[in-house]
Amino acid sequence: MTSGNVLTLKEAKEAFKHGHNYQLQKLLGVHEMTKHNEKGFVFRVWAPKAQAVWLVGDFNQWQADLSMEKDEYGIWSIFTTLPQIGEMYKFKIKQADGREIYKIDPFAVRFEPRPHDAAYIYPTEIKKWHDGLWRGRKKRSNYFERPLNIYEVHTSSWRHHADGTPYNFTDLKDELIPYLKKMGYTHVEFMPLMEHPLPASWGYQLIGYYALSEAYGTPEEFKDFVEACHLANIGVLVDWVPGHFCVNDDALAYYDGTPTFEYNDIDQANNRGWGALNFGLDKPEVQSFLISSALYWIEEFHIDGIRVDAVSNMLYLDYDNPNWTPNEQGTNLNLAGIAFLQELNRVVKFNHPDVLMIAEESSSSTKITGLIETGALGFDYKWNMGWMNDVLNFYQMDPLYRGEHLNMLTFSFMYRLAENYILPLSHDEVVHGKKSLMHKMWGDRYKQFAQLRNLYTYLIGHPGKKLLFMGSEWGQFLEWKYYEGLEWDDLKDPLNKKMQHFTATLNELYKTERALWECDDQPETLEVIDADNQAQTVLSFIRQGKRKKDFVIVILNLSPIEYQDFQIGVPYAGEYEEILNSELSEYGGTWKQGNPNVITQSAPFKDYQDVITTTVPALGALILKPKTIKYRRKRK
């Protein structure tokens, strides 16, 4: 069933039973309807092993006097004229063992404020969108050949009001969007926006897979925010968690008293590391529930992409499960999880080929990105967790030892084409005692800023799309705290302000230089000039675009020593200009002006017969590009 199909009630239930109803929110949950010339609401909930289900709410003083009827699909339903729009409700369920418990509506679109979790009867408004130009342009473009530079945001801790209350999406529309434009980002990615009871989970322990968290505003406000982003040429990505869900007794957990949304095998169902329950991805009804949720966010809110969290947890039977049982092939692969993820990507891409599907996944034994027909999972991009770990470990190292570990920066060059990668410097790296990116850098405060500029230049120069967590753009020193706003007072410090300016300049340079994004997934995009300079600890490489003239040279000095008369090989004879120098005073460095243009000299250097000579700042980064050159490649 595709998202555009209109089914009869019987057909919708059959599709749900077989795992192919991908508009399940139109069947289950609460819906206005007219029956026997009376206007009212129909409520439906899936609880196949329940002994009885009652609808309770404001409209009947929460008494169990509205009994629901069960059909052969395990769906309980009732039509009633009692409720009014805006009233709250739940389901009271007599579970398989006779226990009676109040449960949420899994298809609610609006919940009451925490810590309570009753749902509102809340028909969402049909919005008249004005983002057609953005959506049309997106359909016509190849996103692999476009810049993708993501600013990752935790919604309720980006900024707080003076009274300590976090911004909602109306506030964010007024302040975050202009900030994204100022900083030069192409996309914003939100950590999960769906309803969750515990703020300390950052949104990764969900209960409401169809509900915007009440703390963030109304669905209408989020739609207006997305539209405003699109009008400002900014894409919107959202984290989504189909692997596991919150264990709260009044939510999805053991909904009818038996494994309902979770695996039947208790060891496979229990997610010990996160204190959660894993979705039973082998159940057709659960497949319908989850894929419908993904399409709901794409179609209802016009979001441009989904980042699927914790994909490894869905791929491997032994992931955090010491009592795992091999599959029928005798391996640790979760065949149901693989089939689900392939079907998810197949359905999303069939209905919305221009929507980005991104996997947060850390293993290397399963192909994540690429065509499903080739055995891959069908994602567009995968977070490169190996790159992130290697790079951050390197930049924390004393420069005295960096030369012999330069391969920590260059190892990712070897496997860069194994997947379509996003290079993430994400929230996970600036919390739980890991220190902020700024605080990770070696040396005193001045050297930390210099290395952070160096790191971000490497991020922008390395093949792959980009992601940076909020606050890192100006070098916030303190770790991220989910319950506080960012340390915006940092920007009163000239070094933080200049760091923010450097990040914005670098982001604009990324968008301007086609070589930095046009051929990310092609072999010719990267040419290493020198990755063996252990004595000076300087790395140099070329990024190439589609046209010969579209290339830049990146030089990274990973040592605290300035090198004058520094020489590297270049592919063409001619004149080269410096377009970025991280050590300029306007960025927080000491240089008043950058290097002058340089003319090549004929001399051998590794694979090259022409060289340029320049000065490389201590802990500095340079980006050069050709100004006037001869397009005859001169090789040894």
Tell me which residues are annotated as active site: 309, 360
Note whether 471 and 431 are within 8 A (CB): no
Instruction: State both tokens at 575.
Output: 């004149």
Sheet holding 75-80, edge to edge: 29-35, 38-46, 75-80, 69-70
Q: How far apart are CA 288 and CA 283, in angstroms?
A: 9
**In angstroms, rounded to a whole number, what is the distance separating the alpha carbons of residues 599 and 610?**
10
Neighbouring-strand partners of residue 306: 238, 357
What is the spatial distance between Cα 437 and Cα 496, in angstroms, rounded to a whole number? 13
Dist. CA 82–CA 19, nearest whole Å: 33
Which structure tokens are listed for 537? 């600890």
Residue type, 219: P
Compute the distance between CA of residue 210 and CA of residue 109 in angstroms, rounded to an integer. Answer: 5
Residue type, 338: I
What crossing angle do the helices spanning 9-17 and 284-301 adopt, rounded to 10°? 120
Among candidate residues 310, 232, 318, 320, the one with its CA nearest the CA of residue 271: 320
**Cβ pair 544, 528 in contact under 8 A:** no
CB distance 549 to 572 below 8 Å: no
How far is Cα 330 from Cα 314, in angstroms, rounded to an integer?
Answer: 17
Q: What is the largest CA-CA distance in the chain?
A: 91
Which residues, 6 or more positions from 137, have their beta carbon under 8 angstroms from its beta carbon?
A: none
CA distance 273 to 15: 34
CA 322 to CA 267: how far, in whole Å?
Answer: 8
Find how far residue 541's CA is from the centre of its chain.
28
Distance CA 623, CA 597 (A): 12
Contact 353, 346 (CB under 8 A): no
Q: What is the spatial distance between Cα 528 and Cα 554, in angstroms, rounded to a whole number?
A: 10
Q: In what order do the strands lie in the sheet with 598-599?
A: 526-530, 538-544, 551-557, 621-629, 574-581, 598-599
Q: How far is CA 332 from CA 64, 315, 320, 336, 349, in A?
A: 46, 9, 12, 12, 28
The answer to whether 582 and 453 are in contact (CB under 8 A) is yes
Q: 17 by DSSP, 3-state: which?
A: helix
In whole angstroms, give the CA distance from residue 390 to residue 424: 12
Sheet holding 563-570, edge to edge: 563-570, 608-616, 601-605
Q: SS3 for 40?
A: strand
Peptide bond into 617 cis (omega under 30): no
